[in-house]
Amino acid sequence: MTNFLSLADVTDLDALIQSGRDAKTNPFTDQHLGKNKTIGLLFFNSSLRTRLSTQKAAQNLGLNVITMNVGQDSWGLEMEEGVIMDSDKAEHVREAAAVIGRYCDIIGIRAFAGLQDRELDYKEQVMNQFAKYANVPIVNLESATRHPLQSLADCITIEEAKTKARPKVVLTWLPHFKPLPQAVANSFCEWMNARAHSGDVEFVVTHPKGYELAPEFVGNARIIYNQDEAFEGADFIYGKNWSSYTHYGQVLTKDPSWAVTMDDIRRSDNGKFMHCLPVRRNLKVSDQVLDSPHSLVIEQAANREWSAQAVLKEILKSL
């Protein structure tokens, strides 16, 4: 694996999921792989789980870790080509990426969507520019349109918890007062569509009208606008808020009836609740659901360590 930017970089998804589960059982068996190697983790945005779990996974593999809050520890990076650099951005990504690539064997990057300019966000400038100029593997720690380490952790979690061969997985939009990126939802669709294609899950998406995700992500997933109907027989209810893609970055509704409660769980087939965290309690999902045995959110977050370890192991093997 030379980069981990999206599902397209995964050649064998089943093997990658299994590798994560193996790491969970035996975290320290591959420590020789990272010896005298360094991963640099660049955060253009805040992080808790990603920061901790990626660092932990790297250390499990014997890697040195250098973490940097770009902009805070350093300065703004210019991503556009050919410009006269007279703004507040003091360094061009061409230099920054190439230089960091000389110090680090792998670079992980978090850079959220700005939610102002859909075209700009969806061309994934930060990831692509780093991939172009760094000359070392790039790991997506959540980009403008994707969060593949989360999606891999989600796959691991579903594999662990499923009670039937082909569980029904429902992605549901949840209400929120702030506009959030589509990255987690996009990525989840991308990965679940692959799992559906291989017959491992049945995948359904439910959201209010106006919250349709980008066609290249939602693909052939079945859309059901009626949440109650979508939840019928669900084995996994995967909650997430996102802002509108069509009315880009806007909050079109905060309808509280879309929040997940125990009534929704009862409508499902003894369904499990998943959410990537952070989650706003009683706004997006009730305390009762989160504090019940139906909730997988902690296990799902814990699996972030193992999804990162599976990916870093693949990359280290290819260095």
User: Within 283-312, which residues bind its own copies (CB under 8 A)?
Assistant: 283, 287, 290-291, 297-298, 301-302, 305
> What is the C-alpha separation between 78 and 159, in angstroms, rounded?
41
Q: Which of 82, 199, 215, 293 binds its own copies (CB under 8 A)?
A: 82
> What is the C-alpha separation between 226 and 59, in angstroms, rounded?
45
**Is there binding between residue 18 and its own copies (CB under 8 A)?**
no
Task: Supply φ then ψ for residue 271, to 5 degrees.
Answer: -70, 155
**Is there binding between residue 56 and its own copies (CB under 8 A)?**
yes
CB of 83 to its own copies, least distance (A): 7
Q: Which is nearer to its own copies, 94 or 162 (CB)?
A: 94
**Is there binding between residue 86 and its own copies (CB under 8 A)?**
yes
CB of 45 to its own copies, least distance (A): 10
Q: Which residues of 218-248 are buried (b: 16+ CB within 10 A; e: fewer)?
A: bbebeebeebeebbeebbbbbbbbbbbbeeb
CB of 176 to its own copies, least distance (A): 9
**Is there binding between residue 104 and its own copies (CB under 8 A)?**
yes
Return the H-helix or E-strand segment holding 168.
Answer: strand 168-173
Coil, helix or strand for 313?
helix
CB of 214 to its own copies, least distance (A): 25
Contact 47, 110 (CB under 8 A): yes
**Is there binding between residue 99 and its own copies (CB under 8 A)?**
yes
- Interacting residue ranges for its own copies, rule: CB under 8 A: 27-28, 36, 38, 40, 43, 46-49, 51-53, 55-56, 59-60, 64, 66, 68-69, 72-75, 78, 82-86, 90-92, 94-96, 98-100, 102-104, 177, 277-283, 287, 290-291, 297-298, 301-302, 305
